[in-house]
Amino acid sequence: MRRLLLTLLLLSNCASAVEGTPGAAISALWSALSNEPGSSADLATLKRIFHEDAVIFGGRYKAGAPSVRRSSVEEFLQPYASVREKGFHECEVSRMVQTYDRFAVVYSVVESRTDKSATSPDFVGVNSIQLYKVGTQWRILSLYYHVEKQGLPIPLGEGSSGKCIA
The beta strand positions in the chain, using DSSP E, are 50-62, 65-72, 89-100, 103-113, 123-134, 137-147
**Is residue 26 a part of any domain in this protein?**
yes
Q: Which domain holds residue 141?
A: 18-147
pLDDT over 80 (residue 2) = no
**Is residue 99 a part of any domain in this protein?**
yes
Whether residue 21 contacts residue 166, with contact meaning beta carbons closer than 8 Å, is answered with no
**Is residue 128 a part of any domain in this protein?**
yes
- List the CATH number of the domain containing 64: 3.10.450.50
**Is residue 155 a part of any domain in this protein?**
no
**Is residue 162 a part of any domain in this protein?**
no
Kindly report the pTM of this predicted structure: 0.86
Q: pLDDT at position 20, please? A: 93
User: How many domains would you assign to the chain?
Assistant: 1
Amino acid at 53: D
Average pLDDT, the chain: 90
Whether residue 55 contacts residue 68, with contact meaning beta carbons closer than 8 Å, is answered with no
**Is residue 112 a part of any domain in this protein?**
yes
**Is residue 62 a part of any domain in this protein?**
yes
d(CA 73, CA 50): 7
**Is residue 89 a part of any domain in this protein?**
yes
Each residue's pLDDT tens digit, 34-65? 999 999 999 999 999 999 999 999 999 999 99
Q: How many CB atoms lie within 10 A of CB 45?
A: 17
Whether residue 91 contacts residue 111, with contact meaning beta carbons closer than 8 Å, is answered with yes
Whether residue 105 contacts residue 97, with contact meaning beta carbons closer than 8 Å, is answered with yes
Find residue 146's DSSP bridge partners. 59, 126
Each residue's pLDDT tens digit, 4-20? 333 434 444 444 446 89
